[in-house]
Structure 1
């Protein structure tokens, strides 16, 4: 790889995804050994020319010689393009660049509900993206659609269950949101959408666990008992993940119990 020297990525140290790809740039020699730096370690001189608020939303790449900064997908394209110029040219083609920026924003603005981190007491050093209602609602809708589709395909593996429809699964996925909101309706809009984002991340996580079983079943007709046990194990893992997030976000523990209650109600509805 061709190394981009004297450039430093300012990344969110509490974001596992950010840690992985910035470390990858160092390991593959796309950046030199000083090519990344945690947001919380920005010094006073760097804070004079780095847009702090923007750097929380879009990863910043500092040119240490010229003291200039580029952000988000443009910074990633510059690093990758230094080794693969064709990728940078394609990525900078306007329609593609607009699309990439939308995808980047979708992930970046939702990264704290995709993979939450412990709330820090020092808000100034936190690299938390701005609260963007448009991207949060888009993420929630995407999660409902994805979860509904996977659960519909999974229901086909259990013939004893009443025949399902995609609409039923979508209603059940959306119903979980409405049910949980009933118990946190006194929260602020931001708190509710942050929790719902985490709630749907748990559902996405469960759907991803189910996908391997769907793939295996296309080649091997799995016994129904294996399918049921696999699903039960998935629900237990989801419960633990929901519980973990509740603790990280310092939310009321009763949300874990209402999460279970809704799923029991949903199961009764399906069976009847």
Structure 2
């Protein structure tokens, strides 16, 4: 593995995802031991040539010799491409680069709702991405679509439930967002959308947990005890994760219980 030396990635220390992959670059040898640094620890000198408005949105790669900076997907291409030149050649082809750039923005602007972390408020510099309505709505729509299709498939495995259809599942998933958001009307709209993003991430996590049973059901006749038991464990995991996220967001704790209440009301409606 070739090491890209004298280059430093400025990562968001409050973002577990950012911390994970930048640590991976260093441990794998793609970057040297000084290859990552918290954005919050930028020196006064570095603040003169790093774009402080752009860096929280697009991870910055600082060339410590020339004092120049690369941003966003180009930073990652530069790091990975130094060890794997073929990947760099492919990633810089215009149509592919355009797609990668959009995918990077999709994740970066939503990273605080994909994997939230506790913010260290004592830091003078905060690596918080700008609130981007387009990418937030795209993420919510993406998660809602995946969740609806998975629940459509899974509910049809439960024999005691009426036959499902995709329209019903979309309405139920969207209704959950509306139901919970009505309880937050006194908060700023960005707070509501941050919560909605976290809510749909929890739903997405639940969908991923349910998918193995969906796959196995295509090959085997699974007992209802396994199907229902797996669903029950999934709901418990989702509840605990929802509770954790509400705490991080410093929102009312009762949101986790109204989340359960909505699902109970929806189930009663379906059964009747």
TM-score (norm 2): 0.97
C-alpha distance in 2 between matches for 1:124 and 1:105: 25
C-alpha distance in 2 between matches for 1:93 and 1:198: 34
Paired position in structure 1 for 2:28? 28
Report the Cα offset of residue 217 of structure 1: 2.3
Report the Cα offset of residue 119 of structure 1: 3.4
Report the Cα offset of residue 262 of structure 1: 0.4
C-alpha distance in 2 between matches for 1:16 and 1:184: 27
Q: Secondary structure at the match of 2:197?
A: helix
Report the Cα offset of residue 61 of structure 1: 0.2
Q: Are residues 1:206 and 2:200 paired?
A: no
Please say if residues 119 and 249 of structure 1, whose CA atoms lie closer than 8 Å, have aligned partners that are also in contact.
Answer: no
Structure 2: where are the runs of 5+ without partners?
none
Structure 1: where are the runs of 5+ without partners?
none
Report the Cα offset of residue 160 of structure 1: 2.2
Paired position in structure 1 for 2:48? 48
Paired position in structure 2 for 1:4? 4
Report the Cα offset of residue 123 of structure 1: 6.0
Matched length: 272
Q: Which moved more, 1:106-115 or 1:83-92?
A: 83-92
C-alpha distance in 2 between matches for 1:233 and 1:195: 23
Q: Are residues 1:132 and 2:132 paired?
A: yes
Q: How does 1:172-211 map to 2 (within 5 A)?
A: 172-211=172-211
C-alpha distance in 2 between matches for 1:4 and 1:119: 30
C-alpha distance in 2 between matches for 1:124 and 1:41: 9
Paired position in structure 2 for 1:37? 37
Q: How does 1:65-214 map to 2 (within 5 A)?
A: 65-122=65-122, 124-214=124-214
C-alpha distance in 2 between matches for 1:164 and 1:213: 17
Q: Secondary structure at the match of 1:31?
A: coil
TM-score (norm 1): 0.97
Report the Cα offset of residue 85 of structure 1: 1.6
Paired position in structure 2 for 1:16? 16
Q: Secondary structure at the match of 2:116?
A: coil
Q: Which moved more, 1:209-218 or 1:190-199?
A: 209-218
For residues 160-193 of structure 1, give each alpha carbon's deviation from its aligned partner in whole angstroms, at most 9, with x where no partner exists: 2100001110100000011111111121111110
Please say if residues 16 and 117 of structure 2, whose CA atoms lie closer than 8 Å, have aligned partners that are also in contact.
Answer: no
Paired position in structure 2 for 1:233? 233
C-alpha distance in 1 between matches for 2:115 and 2:188: 21
RMSD of aligned Cα (Å): 1.2
C-alpha distance in 2 between matches for 1:225 and 1:270: 21
Q: Which runs of 4+ in 1 moved over 6 A?
A: none
For residues 127-151 of structure 1, give each alpha carbon's deviation from its aligned partner in whole angstroms, at most 9, with x where no partner exists: 1111000000000011110000000
C-alpha distance in 1 between matches for 2:235 and 2:23: 33
Q: Secondary structure at the match of 2:54?
A: helix
Please say if residues 149 and 169 of structure 2, whose CA atoms lie closer than 8 Å, have aligned partners that are also in contact.
Answer: yes
Higher helix share: 1
C-alpha distance in 1 between matches for 2:15 and 2:76: 16
Please say if residues 3 and 31 of structure 1, whose CA atoms lie closer than 8 Å, have aligned partners that are also in contact.
Answer: yes
